[in-house]
Amino acid sequence: MINVKKLARLIHPEFRFGSTKLEQALKLVNLGVGGFCIYGGSVNEVFETVGILRAASRTPLLISSDYENGAGQMLSDATELPSNMAVGASGSPDIARRKGEITAVEAKALGVDWIFAPVTDLAVNPANPIVNLRSYGSDPALVASLASAYISGLHSCNTISTLKHFPGHGETSVDSHLVLPVLERTLDDLEGSELRPYLALLAQSDSVMVGHLKIPALDPDSPASLSRNIITGLLRGSLRYDGCVITDALNMKAVSDGGAAGLKALLAGADILLAPEDATQLYEILIRAAGEGVITGQMVDCALSRQDRLAQKLSAVSLTPEGLSLVGCAGHRAFVREVSAKCLAWAFQNKPFTVKAGETVFYMEPLTPQKEWHGGAFVEELLRLGVRVKPFEGGAKGKTIIGSFSRPRAFSGAINLSGAAAAELEGVVSGGGDILMAAFGSPFVFDGFHRRMAAGLCAFGGLGDFQRSAAAVLTGAAAAGGTMPVDLKLKQ
């Protein structure tokens, strides 16, 4: 007879500040869940909440989060770090490792032990709405090298790592938060591309997150996250991986179906069922399945043994408020500033584009009024360097800079330029003059315009220090030290 408390430990619900009630989470702790995935909050809120949840639990709780770009990705008072694609442009394992170290130090201070990173998907489809900047690039060898360095940074601070999204989400063209992507690739195709980083990194990583994507050649019926062919057959069998396997969030629209997806994932070979829509409902489904003999004791014990191995990696260090001084500290923020120019890259240079003190340059962001510009740090730095900046108006003649800030957003279903934004840019570039587009986000925004622009500069993110470095590059005060880590597939 299976101990039903063991079944609860397979479930790791989300704790989303602003919507999850602490009382609700404590009920789940009493139920016996194995951990929580934390979203949002402030530094103090995360620290205090994790402490309360841990104190209430009879078993060690694994606390995780999607801090792909550091805790500052979700917490404004922590350090937000460069995107993976920015690190890919630098080509530097040292930068990748330091990103992992800073992420781990700040996460551990907050009480977060498990980082759902690195993303090892390849950035090979410009239309992919959810990978993009989260990838190190399109070259499997580059991705594997930088992801390995990042993992070593996490591990140096005793933090759990995760490769995602197995067997590779880079070639998809829809957002699995909204719909189920279908990837028409054979196993041979995957072994030549998306699987290569996994082949290099499985022995190093603590866990693997399986993506919500369907690959009919591998399983005509189920998405990877619910597929026995892919989890038990390919990952466990062919690739001989015996580490912890976790689903992507089960509340994503690609698979959400009232709890049945969690049972399917467990039967497919997953060890941890992440963020179901209703954790209590899933628990009840698992109890019924165990009573009917669908779930076996051996299956549950094997999954929990892998979860226990993760818990045993963690040091028994008490959380103290004093440790929070490391979160968002000056040294961590200095790292972002110091590496920023090394991560910038020219997408193309049809002719030189520079601006000098005393010159006037026009600036615009597609479909964005001046009071809502995202490029405030960029404009302010140009002004500080002596450049006169004016908002672009139709018919303006002279040097023009276009700032683009498109980036992956869960549940948005789109990236790059909308039809309306492209139409506005068409009006700008058709007017002539020297034009530069600065991509403070997706680098896949130039197609259709690049031949009529002087140059395109990529910062792979909108961090303030990266905006300031871009301004420095354009005024000759700094050099863009990176190289493009992706093929933009620009039509000639």
Same domain, residue pair 308 and 456:
no
The confidence band for 175, taking pLDDT boundaries of 50, 70 and 90, is: low
Same domain, residue pair 376 and 470:
yes
- Domain termination site, one of 295, 330, 365: 330
Same domain, residue pair 315 and 405:
no
Q: What pLDDT score was predicted for residue 373?
A: 97
Same domain, residue pair 370 and 320:
no
Q: Report yes or no on 482 lying in a domain.
A: no
177 as an active site residue: the answer is: yes
Same domain, residue pair 255 and 360:
no
- How confident is the model over 124-132, as a mean pLDDT? 87
Same domain, residue pair 371 and 310:
no
- In the set 113, 248, 271, 465, the catalytic residue is 248
Q: Report yes or no on 255 lying in a domain.
A: yes
Same domain, residue pair 51 and 138:
yes
400: domain CATH number is 3.40.50.1700
- How confident is the model over 28-39, as a mean pLDDT? 97
- How confident is the model over 4-28, as a mean pLDDT? 96
- Domain termination site, one of 330, 355, 379: 330
Asked if residue 230 has pLDDT above 80, the reply is yes
Asked if residue 333 has pLDDT above 90, the reply is yes
- How confident is the model over 293-312, as a mean pLDDT? 94
Q: What pLDDT score was predicted for residue 411?
A: 47
8: domain CATH number is 3.20.20.300
- How confident is the model over 16-42, as a mean pLDDT? 97
Q: Report yes or no on 480 lying in a domain.
A: no
Asked if residue 410 has pLDDT above 60, the reply is no
Across the chain, mean pLDDT equals 92
Asked if residue 432 has pLDDT above 90, the reply is no
Q: Report yes or no on 324 lying in a domain.
A: yes
Q: Report yes or no on 55 lying in a domain.
A: yes
**pLDDT tens for each residue of 464-485:** 999 999 999 999 999 999 999 9
- Domain termination site, one of 330, 362, 388: 330
- How confident is the model over 66-80, as a mean pLDDT? 97
CA distance 103 to 97: 10
Same domain, residue pair 206 and 292:
yes
Same domain, residue pair 324 and 388:
no
Query: ∠407-412-417 over CA atoms, to 5°?
Result: 50
The confidence band for 293, taking pLDDT boundaries of 50, 70 and 90, is: very high
How many domains does the chain fold into?
A: 2
Closest CA to 84 of 130, 40, 120, 37: 120
Q: What pLDDT score was predicted for residue 171?
A: 82
The confidence band for 30, taking pLDDT boundaries of 50, 70 and 90, is: very high
Q: Report yes or no on 310 lying in a domain.
A: yes
Closest CA to 265 of 229, 313, 212, 227: 227
Same domain, residue pair 344 and 255:
no
Q: Which domain holds residue 410?
A: 340-474
Same domain, residue pair 201 and 225:
yes
> What percentage of the chain exceeds 90 in pLDDT?
80
- How confident is the model over 30-48, as a mean pLDDT? 97
- How confident is the model over 199-221, as a mean pLDDT? 95
Q: What pLDDT score was predicted for residue 14?
A: 97
Same domain, residue pair 69 and 185:
yes
- How confident is the model over 251-257, as a mean pLDDT? 71
- In the set 155, 165, 169, 177, the catalytic residue is 177
374 as an active site residue: the answer is: no
Q: Report yes or no on 380 lying in a domain.
A: yes
Q: Report yes or no on 488 lying in a domain.
A: no
